[in-house]
Amino acid sequence: MFYELKKFYTNLAVIIMLAFIILVAILLPVFFMSEHETYSYRDGAVVKNTGLAGYSMGKTQTDKVKGSLDEKKLNQVLALYKSFDDDMESYKNVEEKYPGLSGYLIKAYAPYGEEEGFLIKTISNADDFGRRDIVQIKNKILRSGQEDFFRASLPQIERKVSEIKKPYVIEFVGQWPILIASLTFTYAAIAVFSLLISSRMCSFEKEQKMDLILSSIHKKQRIGIGYKKILAMVIYISAVFAVCTIIVSSIVFLPLGISGWNTQVQNLPELFTSLSHWSIGEMYMFLIAMAWVGIIGVSLIGFFVNAVFQQTYTSMIITAVLVFPPWLLYSSEGLPLWLQKVFLIQPINGTQIFRHMRSLFVYDIGLGELLSYTVFFVEAVLCILALVLLSPRLFARRLR
């Protein structure tokens, strides 16, 4: 196996791509963090801070409103809003006293997709805040014009939403979007990288004109070589994956901490209408697990295709056509929803956690009502097992 590993980690192409990926993993979070702008209001004046200073300001701001977010608190915010005539004046005062809470009100009460110009004053009271998520989810469906598709699964969606823990617990969560964006991008790069590696695993000997030696040994031994190749590939890609995950996570966590680990994912503004009952920490763990399974899945598909075609460039293209459309075309206009639902659970979309978190699909496939990530795991693991069993045999046969 060690010898199989050596065949590709000494390869110039692999080294170049590896350097590129590690560069991305370092630069991306640093860039996102340095570009981040935080605004706060003090005595009616705006204070703007960028980068790390902004984050520490954001943290002290959040400390003012830390703890569980109940209707009483939100009603106080509303009362403060209504005590001023001027919109800007009331916004400034609320942001000074209850920083960030207007965001929750906007997310919960603004007509979906029209958050921009929404006037918080028009909310009569926030007594039903705890039940607004399902209302907003229904609005989201209505807005997308796909009521027909979701009509049947609406009760299931309601059941899923009722499992979300309430009330929300407010903590500083500003570092998470950056962490997730950086990881998502890095993982996508690793997926492309694994395509490049897997597409020459089985054709390496042939392209070096060494396949005659391989074909002269016994079939069982050839199958053994196939397994060793798979093992070497999985170990190498997993190592790259682990290194990148550690780099990105430590760049974000070391200066900013892991506050918000135990709060609901709905605290992230992007995920207010998520069906998931995970905490942010759970989401982070699952995000890593899903991306890893997905990337291994992609590399095994590449390995399988390469075992069949025995030509690097050809298998690269065929694998790309098989694997990438669910990723690239997922959010394209005019894509039918059932296809989007199928696309979401394909291996490559394991790298796209926000797609899973934001989707409203409930999969009812005989195993109970499941959300996309559970189905994703089932599908990816089955796919991996099948490919691990099949590919070495195919490799052995195709060599003859």
Partner 1 sequence: MSYEFKKIFNELYVKLLVCGILIGSLAVAIITINSFGELESPDSVKELKGKAAIELSKSRYKNIRGELTLVKINEALRYYKSIPSPDEASAKTDERYPGVPFLLDSAYSKTMGTANLHNLKSGNDFYKRNVVQIENKIAKAPDEYGDREKETIIQRASAIKTPYYFDFHGQWKRGYTSLTMLFIVISIASILVGSRLFSYERENNMEIILTTLGKSKLYAIARKKVFALWAFITILCFLSVTIFSICYFAIAGLSAWNSQIQIGYFMSVNQLTFGEAYIAMAIVGWISLLAIGTLVALFNAYIQRSLASLAIGLVIVILPWILVKLGVFPTIIKKFFSLQPFNGLFAENNLLSLHVYKFAFFDVLTMTAVLINSLCILAFCYLISPRLFGQRIIKN
For partner 1, the binding residues (CB under 8 A) are 11-14, 16-17, 20, 27, 31, 34-35, 114, 117, 145, 196, 200, 207, 209, 309, 311-314, 316-318, 321, 332-334
Please, which residue, 72 or 209, has the CB nearer to partner 1?
209
Please, which residue, 261 or 324, has the CB nearer to partner 1?
324
Residue 317 CB, nearest distance to partner 1 (Å)?
Answer: 5
Residue 318 CB, nearest distance to partner 1 (Å)?
Answer: 7
Report the C-alpha gap between 197 and 191 in whole angstroms: 10
Peptide bond into 111 cis (omega under 30): no
Please, which residue, 31 or 338, has the CB nearer to partner 1?
31
Please, which residue, 334 or 366, has the CB nearer to partner 1?
334
Residue 323 CB, nearest distance to partner 1 (Å)?
Answer: 14
Residue 92 CB, nearest distance to partner 1 (Å)?
Answer: 16
Residue 376 CB, nearest distance to partner 1 (Å)?
Answer: 26
Please, which residue, 73 or 200, has the CB nearer to partner 1?
200
Q: Which of 328, 376, 335, 380 is nearest to 356 (CA)?
A: 376
Query: How many of the other CB atoms lie within 10 Å of CB of 261?
Result: 15
Residue 305 CB, nearest distance to partner 1 (Å)?
Answer: 12
Element at 41 (helix H, strand E): strand 37-42
Give exposure, 319-341, as e/b (b: 16+ Cβ within 10 Å): bbebbbebbeebeeeeeeeeebb
Q: Please, are residues 112 and 360 in contact by the beta-carbon 8 Å criterion?
A: no
Q: Which of 139, 138, 164, 166 is nearest to 153 (CA)?
A: 138
Please, which residue, 196 or 375, has the CB nearer to partner 1?
196
Element at 200 (helix H, strand E): none
